[in-house]
Amino acid sequence: MMKEKEPTNNQAHTVRMPIVIAITLVAGMLVGANFFGGQARMNSVAKGYSKYREVLSLIETSYVDSVNTDSLVEFSIKKMLEKLDPHTSYFSTSEVAAARSQLESGFDGIGIEFNVFNDTVYVVNAMLGGPSDAVGIKSGDRLVSADGVSLTGQKVNSALIFSKLRGPRGSEVTLEIVRKGEKGVKVFTVTRDRIPSYSINASFMIDNQTGYIKVDRFTESTYDEFKSALSTLKSQGLKRLMLDLRGNPGGYKDRAEKMVDELLAGEKLIVYTDGKGTKYDSQTFTQNDGIFEKGAVIVLVDENSASAAEIVAGALQDNDRALIVGRRSFGKGLVQMPVTLHDGSELRLTISRYYTPSGRSIQKPYSLGKEEEYEKDYDQRLKGGEFFSSDSIKFNEKLKYKTVAGRIVYGGGGITPDVFVPRDTSYMTKYLTELFSKNIIREYALTYTNENIKSLEKLSFKEFNKQFNVSDEMLSELQKVAQQAKVKATAKDYERSLAYLKGQIKALVARNVWQRKKAKGYNNEYYQILMAYDETFQKALQNFDKAEKLAHGEIVETLTHSGK
């Protein structure tokens, strides 16, 4: 399923250039060699610029064929940056808006979540109180066209859909819709408006003392969302917190720091940066009275937790404030400075490195100009067994550090957890992968929900979770949908994936029922059901005794520390 605000990448196995904005600069600031001073560097840059301008001028005036020099400049900039670190990047004017939108707290659009199934766009949810909900668009409606442009067929993709549904607030888009059970095509004119975008996906009490918050990324609104969620949970009896940062690619550094400040008492170091010279060196300390400075905290991370997420995990680990559970994080510890160039394009230039309070560099090793080698790190971890066995994690004794309380932690890239949880692939089969890739499970769950909505809405979620079971009849219907999409399963694969498949269907049905009733973006019901199949979540629950000891200043045994 997809949201109009952004495409969803299911079960992503890599984090490619997580967007980290550490320093806000005035638009139009010139980038020059005098960033770091030195007449020799100035002379070198001047000579290089002169040569480049000379070659470009010769191409423009004397090359045998007509060429677009603007495209040559774009190409040459990107090729030049390939010789630097893996995270220095350039965005053309057409790419800047999309890159920035990932960190904004909202967008202008029509307010729907959609799913593409069999080359057709289906409305999963018209956001409560949004423009589409206001004109009567409903879950299950099929989008046929937008402003006369067809939204069916093999050419339909997320880029096309976003281009037609998004637009300046106050502008209109005419949609043609087919509704199941009704004849003909319905026409709706929707006036676009500001649609809020949420970075916290779930916030609820697991039991009468344990709260759970899942943060998907660090955007403009993340800190405010986190404070609100944390305050609500505290009013409900929060004494232990599970903070889920799995799959979080990062975002605004200062939002991550403020999140730490809500959990860590006193004046403690959160993170520091070190660059060339001292211009971009910084230290950030806690300074405010936080909402939850006492009580056990567990932070969940995995190989797709990066950048700002790693700042949070590293700060809480090094200050012995939280128990880190999961697998070693991505290792993105380079700080990018965004610079808007004169034509509106943007350079994100690496200017320093992040370090945790103990002195660990978050950044994993890399060689200048060898991005392909850098991107193979994931495959190397996979082949080396690191995702499945803690014994396969290699610790560099030269990069040994100590937390405030004296626990041993290791550098070398990423945040190594205190409690390791192997990746669970027992249920993953080719059959399940194809069901996910073709959106079959989501589409079946949506159809089932719409056909049974009256009876489902009579139940409270608590009653639904206790009483509802995915029947053999439902599974048979799912298989028919899968066969129509040319997805078949062997008996072995079907049995292997069956329990998880049932869980997914039940979770998605719950999401479809209760999401309609909410103006906010929480998917609490979905995650509450999937907890039973989440080994990292279950392992975390079992280790709150260690987190409790940490909260009381005791040293505990962890993956990298014997506790002696």
Cα–Cα distance, 360 to 400 (Å, whole number): 9
* Residue, of 153 and 246, whose pLDDT is higher: 246
- Rounded (5°) CA angle 335-341-347: 30
Q: Is residue 96 scored above 90 in pLDDT?
A: no
Q: Say if CB 306 and CB 18 are below 8 A apart.
A: yes
Determine how β-strand 296-301 pairs with β-strand 323-326: parallel
**Mean pLDDT, range 262-282, rounded to an integer:** 94
Residue 162: pLDDT band with limits 50, 70, 90: confident
Least confident window among 114-123, 359-368, 489-498, 546-555: 114-123
Q: What is the pTM of this model?
A: 0.84
What dihedral do alpha carbons 301, 303, 306, 312 form, nearest 10°?
A: 20
Mapping DSSP to helix (H, G, I), strand (E, B) and coil, where does residue 451 land?
A: helix
pLDDT of amino acid 520: 63
- Is the pLDDT confidence value at 277 over 70? yes
User: How much is the pLDDT for 135?
Assistant: 85
The pair of three-digit structure tokens given for residue 56, joined into one six-digit string:
């470009």
Q: Measure the CA–CA gap between 346 and 337, rounded to whole angstroms.
A: 10
The reported pLDDT for the residue numbered 41 is: 64
Which secondary-structure segment (H or E) carries 546? helix 544-551
- State the pLDDT at residue 2: 46
Cα gap 331→353, rounded to integer Å: 11
- Residues of the chain above pLDDT 70, percent: 91
Tell me the pairing of strands 240-244 and 296-301. Answer: parallel
Q: What average pLDDT does this structure show over 357-366?
A: 93
Using the predicted structure, report yes or no on whether residue 339 has a pLDDT greater than 50: yes
Reported as a pLDDT band with limits 50, 70 and 90, residue 112 is confident
The reported pLDDT for the residue numbered 7 is 33
Helix axes 440-451, 430-437, angle to 10 degrees: 60
Share of the chain above pLDDT 90, in %: 58
CA 303 to chain CA mean position, Å: 12
* Environment class of 233 (CB within 10 Å of its CB; exposed 0-12, middle 13-18, buried 19+): buried
Q: What is the pLDDT of residue 1?
A: 47
pLDDT of residue 101: 67
CA 283 to chain centre: 26
Whether 108 contacts 169, CB under 8 Å: yes
Q: How many CB atoms lie within 10 A of CB 213?
A: 22
On the 0-12 / 13-18 / 19+ scale of CB atoms within 10 A, 418 is buried
Does 40 have pLDDT greater than 90?
no
Range of weakest confidence among 371-375, 464-468, 482-486:
371-375
H or E, element range at 309? helix 308-318
Q: What is the mean pLDDT of residues 155-181?
A: 86
- Say how many C-beta atoms besides its own lie within 10 A of residue 458's C-beta: 9
Most confident of 96-110, 173-187, 286-300, 433-447: 286-300
Neighbours of 410 (CB within 10 A): 23
Residues 6+ apart with CB under 8 A from 509: 445, 448, 449, 456, 468
Question: For the chain, percent helix, then strand, then coil, each to nearest 5?
Answer: 35, 20, 40
Predicted pLDDT of residue 11: 38
CA 336 to chain CA centroid, nearest Å = 18
Mean pLDDT across 322-347: 93
Cα angle 316, 239, 405 (rounded to 5 degrees) comes to: 30
Query: How confident is the model over 425-444, as a mean pLDDT?
Result: 91
pLDDT at 29 over 70: no
Q: Taking Cα atoms as reference points, which of 264, 233, 281 lies closest to residue 256?
A: 264
Is 544 a residue whose pLDDT tops 80? yes
Mean pLDDT of the region 304-329: 97
On the question of pLDDT at 198 being above 80, the answer is yes
**Mean pLDDT score across all residues of the chain:** 87
Please, which pLDDT band fits residue 8 given cuts at 50, 70 and 90? very low
141 has a pLDDT exceeding 80: yes
Average pLDDT over residues 226-245: 97
State residue 38's pLDDT score.
55
CA 362 to chain centre: 18
pLDDT of 282 reads 94
Spatial strand order in the sheet of 240-244? 200-205, 210-215, 240-244, 296-301, 323-326, 419-420
pLDDT tens digit sequence for 493-519: 999 999 999 999 999 999 999 987 765
Find the mean pLDDT for residues 210-219.
96
Nearest-5° Cα angle at 426, 425 to 429: 80
Of the candidates 170, 167, 116, 163, the residue with the CA atom closest to the CA atom of residue 143? 116
pLDDT category of residue 521 using cuts at 50, 70 and 90: confident
Residue with tokens 């009579």: 458
